[in-house]
Amino acid sequence: MTYYQFVQAVEDRMKEAVRDSVAVHIHTAEKNNGTIRRGITLTEQNINISPTIYLEEYYRQFQKGTTLEYITADILRLYHEVRFQKPWGEEKINAYSKVKDKVIYRLVNLEENQKRLKDVPYIRYLDLAVVFYVLLEVTKYGTATMPVRNAHLDMWGVTKEELYRRASENTCRLLPDEFSAMSAVIEELSGMAFGQEGRDDDGEWGEEMYVLSNRIRSYGAAAILYDNRLEGIGAYLKSNYYVLPSSVHEVIVIPEHAAVGKEELSAMVAEINRTQVEAEEVLSDRAYYYDREERRLCM
């Protein structure tokens, strides 16, 4: 079964599984870095915010033997957990005063999102672009957001500079950052402690790599924009350091004394992006350098 046939089959089964007041249809979206994704959108009567559940991961499960019945049931379970139970009032979206405390920013690659950036306000940062969203809800599955478009700025009567100022205040408050040793992050994600092979010659963990993200680890690379965050990391490390954009969700921090040359670091980032990171989640192929004296991140 091809992916397109799989999507059609899931749509048919979902239509049979939901109640009559829920409409099911296939939704195709252009996501970050121009990536095209297909998902199932479920629209309820009198609810103007609809979740889209993308199917690429489910298709991989199907190819490994998971049945359509199980996949349909899991999508239905997920839908009931992420669905909005009341409409988001249009008057809230139309009035800047109603959304200004929910405006946040994300970081995306500038070059890979040229088409998308024509329709949205953005601010250039290094080889990246700062883009804006209204944060509707935070769940254990991630965030429900509305992208801010140029038309919104016209309707709200605000500039992108005002939007950035507001997002700078909101993002660190709504999505606090988290700075952790790489070993602690891997241990948490794997759910198990490391063996002796992970320790250095003194029997201690070598804490030479760190991860900076937000606490929900969703578009957490934007934490490099938080006020005084990079300065604070430099003070903690007592060193200049490199920032490796491992994905849109996090960056890796390596003190200068523990890093290989900058050319090697950028080559390593590019290779990891090609082989281990989903195209939609790639942030940049370049390593960055933070200079404590200049208090500046540069390429």
Q: What domain count does the chain have?
A: 3
Residue 133 and residue 63 share a domain: no
pTM metric for this prediction = 0.84
Q: Confidence class of residue 18 from pLDDT cuts 50, 70 and 90?
A: confident
Instruction: Say what percent of the chain tops pLDDT 90.
Output: 63
Please tell me whether residues 210 and 292 are part of one structural domain: yes
Q: What band does 188 get if pLDDT is binned at 50, 70 and 90?
A: low
Asked if 94 contacts 59 with a C-beta cutoff of 8 angstroms, the reply is no
Mean pLDDT on 171-176: 96
pLDDT-wise least confident of 189-198, 201-210, 288-297: 189-198
pLDDT of residue 52: 86
pLDDT tens per residue across span 81-101: 877 655 555 556 788 999 999
**Which of 110, 107, 99, 120 has its CA nearest to residue 170?**
99
Is the C-alpha dihedral spanning 55, 61, 65, 68 positive or negative? negative
Reference 83, options 56, 48, 39; nearest CA is: 48
Q: Which of 41, 58, 82 is the last residue of a domain?
A: 82
Q: Which of 20-24, 184-188, 247-251 has the highest mean pLDDT?
A: 247-251
Same domain, residue pair 202 and 103 = no
Which of 138, 157, 174 represents a domain boundary (last residue)? 174
> Which of these three, 82, 111, 135, is where a domain ends?
82
Are 186 and 259 in the same domain?
yes
d(CA 96, CA 153): 9
How large is the average pLDDT for residues 139-146? 78
In the β-sheet with 288-291, what is the strand arrangement from edge to edge?
177-181, 210-214, 250-255, 241-247, 288-291, 296-298
What is the spatial distance between Cα 109 and Cα 59, in angstroms, rounded to a whole number? 27
Q: Are 32 and 142 contained in the same domain?
A: no
**Residues ≥6 apart with Cβ < 8 Å to 70:** none
Q: What is the Cα–Cα distance from 115 to 208, expressed in whole angstroms?
A: 38
Query: What's the pLDDT at 193?
Result: 46
The verdict on 32 and 73 lying in the same domain is yes
Could you please report the per-residue DSSP string of 170-198? HHHHHS-EEEEEHHHHHHHHHTS---GGG
DSSP per position, 61-101:
HHHTT--HHHHHHHHHHHHHHH--SS---HHHHH-HHHHGG
- Check whether residue 211 and residue 292 sit in a common domain: yes
218 and 164, same domain (yes or no) = no
Reading the block at residue 114, the tokens are: 């040229």
Residues 6+ apart with CB under 8 A from 280: 31, 32, 33, 35, 37
Residue 207 has pLDDT above 80, yes or no: no
Q: Contact, 10 vs 56, CB < 8 A?
A: no
What's the domain range around 50?
3-82
Same domain, 294 and 194: yes
Longest C-alpha distance within the chain, in Å?
65
Is there a single domain that holds both residue 211 and residue 290?
A: yes
Helix ranges (DSSP H) in the chain: 3-17, 56-63, 68-82, 90-94, 96-99, 114-117, 150-156, 160-174, 182-190, 229-237, 262-275
Verify that 164 and 191 share a domain, yes or no.
Answer: no
Q: Are 208 and 255 a contacting pair, CB within 8 Å?
A: yes
The rounded mean pLDDT for the chain is: 87
Question: What pLDDT, on a 0 to 100 scale, did the predictor assign at position 48?
Answer: 66
Same domain, 181 and 292: yes
Give the Å distances, CA to CA, from 8 to 2, 28, 36, 127, 275: 10, 13, 17, 39, 29
